[in-house]
Amino acid sequence: MFRKLHNDELGRISVEDYKKSEKAPVAVILDNVRSQHNIGSAFRTCDAFRVEKLYLCGICATPPTPEIHKSALGAEFSVEWEYCSQTSEIVSALKEQGYTLVSVEQAENSTSLEGFRLEEGKKYALIFGNEVHGVGQETVDSSDICLEIPQYGTKHSLNVSVTIGIVLWSLLMK
């Protein structure tokens, strides 16, 4: 028999405790994601996996907006984030800080998600792209790794918010 847990039984921590908690050695970069609902979902997923920081780049909207809040459910208050008009600026800055840059994109010579593991002691920046055009080629060119989710249907395309969830869960649970 199963009984659904009530919200007060989930052991949620406060925003203050979240901000003090240890984070995964992972940053997430959104490269020109246009949907505010996808941006809100990214906040919520980054909160769930205690991602270090979320970078919103290019045409990405920024909090506060009702649309982001609707999907983020308040995670825009817990997750550290920064906006930059050019993805290349964040990519360059994180590369200088020693991050391994990982574009999540279908590309020649990409690494399949199931075969990739985070190395202990390294920091990673995971880059997710626009809903139609994906990660920009300039950003792909600057990446150390291209990571691809195997797909077997006719679309060979997942919503960016779904992709973020799959990739973070896969990498942080290994």
Token duo for residue 62: 């920024």
pLDDT, residue 114, reads 95
48 neighbors 73 (Cβ within 8 angstroms): no
Cis-peptide into 64, omega within 30 deg: yes
pLDDT of residue 71: 97
Q: Taking the model in full, what pTM does it have? A: 0.96
Domain assignment of residue 116, yes or no: yes
Nearest of 26, 50, 49 to residue 128 by alpha carbon: 26
- The answer as to whether 36 is a domain residue is yes
Domain of 87, CATH number, reads 3.40.1280.10
Nearest one of 128, 136, 137, 138 to 159, comparing CA atoms:
128
The band of 126, judged by pLDDT with boundaries at 50, 70 and 90, is very high
Residue 7 domain flag: no
Please give the average per-residue pLDDT across 145-149, as a whole number.
98
In percent, the amount of the chain with pLDDT more than 70 equals 100
> Does residue 3 lie within any of the structural domains?
no
Q: Is 93 helix (H, G, I), strand (E, B) or coil?
A: helix
Q: Is the dihedral of CA 16, 18, 21, 27 positive or negative?
A: negative
Structural domain contains residue 6? no
pLDDT tier for residue 156 given thresholds of 50, 70 and 90: confident
Q: Indicate if the pLDDT at residue 27 is higher than 90.
A: yes
Q: Look at residue 2 and tell me if it is in a domain.
A: no
Query: Is residue 174 predicted with pLDDT exceeding 90?
Result: no
Neighbours of 26 (CB within 10 A): 24
* 149 assigned to some structural domain: yes
Full residue range of the structural domain in which residue 123 is found:
13-173
Q: What is the pLDDT of residues 58-111, one digit of tens each?
A: 999 999 999 999 999 999 999 999 999 999 999 999 999 999 999 999 999 999
Q: Is 167 in contact with 110 (CB distance < 8 Å)?
A: no
